[in-house]
Structures are given as structure tokens and as C-alpha cells.
Amino acid sequence: MRKRVLITGGAGFIAHHLIFYLLKKTEYEIISLDRLDYSGNLNRLNNILLSLNKEDKSRLKIVFHDLKSEINPWIAKDIGDVNYIFHLAAGSHVDRSILNPMDFIYDNVVGTGNILEFARKINEKKILERFIYFSTDEVFGPAAKGIDYKENDRYNSTNPYSATKAGGEELAVAFENTYNLPVYITHTMNVFGERQHPEKFIPMCVRKIRDNEEITIHSDSTKKIPGSRHYIHAEDVSEAILFLITNKIDHLPDWGGAKCPKFNIVGSEEIDNLELAKLIAKSQNKDLNFKMVDFHSSRPGHDLRYSLSGEKMKNLGWTPSIKLSERINQVVGWYIRNQEWL
């Protein structure tokens, strides 16, 4: 009998890549749960389905629901029993969280509580193998040069988005400790790829470089040191998730006896945003027109550098299989061929 996977926020950017990857690499049946808003776009799912055969398409079911409301018996029946729940539904734009913090509290804390309560009921049937809560590097706050945060380092949220994601994490931990829910928590950072929201840095750079427009590079107060990140392609994140659920993961000493394991899913190399913009320009055979702006110190809630340690996943046997420069060329080429997504 096929495994069944519920993916919340299924029309979102990372989630639709995860759906695409699982449909290609497994025989799982996938249920996508989404309310459809600025970050959830059915066109993403439609686009990936175009390249799948009829049998693979038939393994995807779409259910509409806003997780600010509980999963009532009718929605629960529509979803059915599941073996895995991957919770990606979330408000995820920092600027939006600064303008409307209560929206993010409802989406990321209340919404997480509602999906955890649904998972608890599934778990009572002894069929739930894993609940994975997708969190973010931003729960750790800014990272000074030379600092790479490990999974169990202290949190230091600097905006409502990261604070609500940290709150969702704590709810997930509590549900494992209280109800023995089989929870994993993942931290990802700066995920990119095809069909990303056009306001994100990489598609924005592709569009502006194409149109010979100036790129704004966020920097420190000297306007000499650009912000940096560990960028990772959404397919690599999907590969890491499949790795986690298909391999036996033994407890490691740095878990400190915690019942709820956490995993950083991190790109293989750190790159500053100026170098990234140069890579994108090179992929288009265009010159880069840019200016450095002290965005970080003038805008509360934004951080110059984030960084996570990927050592735990590396020690378990997983690292991204494709170099960042190759992924950038892949994605830029895709956007140039599919400019309706810019």
C-alpha cells in the first residue's frame, strides 16, 4: 500500500518543489493543503504537472483550507489518513511581518497548533511515521563573521516572522514531549529555484539585469561589506527531506537528550549578495549595474548575515549534490526561458 503524505502550503515555493520531487522519486500519494494567497500559487502546481505522466499526476490531491481554522471533520475526511505530515504553510516575508505582526501570529503559531492537533489525532491511530516542521535560519538571528549556528543554539528572533516560526517550533516540541508525536524540525535558509516569488532576490536580479536596471546590494554601514547567505536550491532541500524519512537516524550527542531532533539543511557554500548578483549577470552575459546601500542598519528586523552549520547533516551522509554556481546557471536559464515568472 502506498505511503500518503500531507504537505501544508503545497502551492507555496518550497512546498511545490517538494511535491514535484516526491512525485518523481517515490510512489507516495501526496495531499496538498493550501489556502492560496500571495505566497501560494496554483500556477506552480499546474506548471510542474505539465511535465509528469498521467499516473504520477493522479497521485496528487489538492485540498483547500486555511489553517487559521481547525481542521474540521469534513476537511479531515477529505485529507484521509496519512503517514507523513510536512508542515510548510506559513507567512514568510519579513517585511510583511513587520507591517502586520498579528497576521503572522495567527498563520505561524495558531496555524501550526491546528495542524499539530490534526497530527495528534492521526498519531493516535499508530500510522503517523513523521511530522516535519519546516523552520528557518532566522530564528537564530544575525550571525557574526565566523559563527555558524548549530541546531540547538539559542534563539534570538529579530522580527515577527522569525519569532512566530520559533513559537511554532516550541509547539511542535511540546506535542512530541506531551503526546509522543514523532517530530523532526528542519532549519533552511535562503532557498531558491524555479517559480519563486518575483520579489525575491534571485528572480529580481534576473529581471533587473535583463532590463539593464540597477541592483541594490544591502551592506553594512560602510557600504563596503555586502550581506551574505548560504543559498540552497529547493530540490536540494527536497532531497534532504527524503533522506531524513528514508534513513534510520540515530540520536547524536549534541541533541542533549532532547526528544525532538533538529536538522540544519544548508547550502554547501556561503556567498555574499554582490558575488551572487555577479554570477547572475554572468549567466546572462550582461554587465552588472549596482549600488551598495546601508539597508541593514536603517531597517529594523533585517540582518546582514545569517549562517547555519551543516555539519550534522554532513555527518549523517547528506550534502547538496550540485554546486551553487551550477544551480544558479540552471535557474537563470529557466527564468530566461520562462519570463512570465519574473
Give the residue numbers marked as catalytic: 137-138, 161
Cα 301 from chain centroid (whole Å): 19
Q: Which of 131, 100, 98 is nearest to 113 (CA)?
A: 131
Three-class DSSP category at 200: coil
Q: Are 191 and 155 in contact (CB under 8 A)?
A: no
Instruction: Spell 188-212 as b/e; 16+ CB within 10 A means b.
Output: bbbbbbbbbeeeebbbbbbebbbee
Assess contact for 46 and 36: CB atoms under 8 A. Answer: no
Q: Which residues are paired to 6 by β-bridges? A: 31, 85
225, 96, 233, 67: CA torsion to nearest 10: 150
The set of long-range contacts for 248-256, using a CB threshold of 8 Å and a minimum separation of 24, is 249/316, 252/312, 252/315, 254/150, 254/151, 254/152, 254/312, 255/152, 256/152
Backbone angles phi, psi at 258, to 5 degrees: -65, 140
Question: Across the chain, how many H-helices and E-strands are there?
Answer: 14, 13
Q: Write the burial class of residue 28 (CB in 10 Å: 0-12 exposed, 13-18 middle, 19+ buried).
A: buried
Reduced to 3 states (helix: H, G, I; strand: E, B; else coil), residue 270 is coil
State how far the Cα of 40 lies from the Cα of 37, in Å rounded to an integer: 5
| 3-state class percentages of the chain: helix first, strand second, coil last, to nearest 5 | 45, 15, 40
Mode of pairing for the β-strands spanning 271-272 and 228-229: antiparallel
